[in-house]
Copies of this chain bind each other. A is one copy, B any other.
Amino acid sequence: MIRILLADDEHLIRGAMAALLSLEDDLEVVAQAATGAEALATARVVRPDVAVIDLQMPDLDGVSVAQALASDLPTCSTMIVTSHGRPGHLKRALAAGVRGFLPKTVSSDVLATVVRTVHNGGRYVDPALAAEAISAGDSPLTPREADVLELALEGAPIDEIARRASLSPGTVRNYLSSAVGKTGASNRHEAARLARARGWI
């Protein structure tokens, strides 16, 4: 019997997924959580075999949870399900030791199959997402450029970005200018949008 921890902030979906997984004879949902922190705390107590975690949750990112889980419970395999599959998320997730990565558009039997796969030490990444991630390519942005661009996401003026990044406004403009060039955008706002769409930030 594979013991599963389920984490998703949407009760409806979590409950529904639990119901579906419980239909399988060899699967058992032993715990559920609605937030990342809750998932982490619960996992430490129940020590599940597999953790099925939603990517976007109110507090902790699914990837962060996976990372913590990987060091805390090495015997527990983590897989991520998500509604909006961005290439960058996939890359980060894989780096965090995630064994499975699925969009929520998959059918329930695929989900069950993948649970078994990762429990057996295998890996599984949705083919469509994998293709997207490959085609998106590596980020050409330097770490600092990515930082600054991320701060630009909300549309703040340069002076505020500079304050938040503890940089001179001129430096911020240089980084942004470089990022605009690399993304092919016509201004930093579009650049920030594109970079996020490509999973670079």
A192 CB within 8 Å of chain B: yes
The residues of B that contact A187 with a CB separation of less than 8 Å are 155, 157
Docked complex Cα distance between A103 and B13 (Å): 11
Interface residues of A (CB under 8 A from B): 9-13, 15-17, 19-20, 23, 81, 83, 103-108, 111, 154-157, 185-187, 189-193
Q: A9, A11, A16, A20: which has the most chain B beta carbons within 10 Å?
A: A16
> Are A111 and B155 touching (Cβ within 8 A)?
no
The residues of B that contact A16 with a CB separation of less than 8 Å are 13, 15-17, 19-20, 108
Pick 14 A–B contacts, CB within 8 A, sort by A: A10-B105, A11-B104, A11-B106, A11-B107, A12-B13, A12-B81, A12-B104, A12-B111, A15-B107, A16-B17, A16-B20, A155-B185, A155-B187, A189-B189
> Are A193 and B12 touching (Cβ within 8 A)?
no
> Are B155 and A189 touching (Cβ within 8 A)?
yes
- Minimum distance in angstroms from A176 CB to a CB of chain B: 12
- Minimum distance in angstroms from A112 CB to a CB of chain B: 11
Contact of A104 among B13, B111, B189, B191 (CB under 8 A): B13
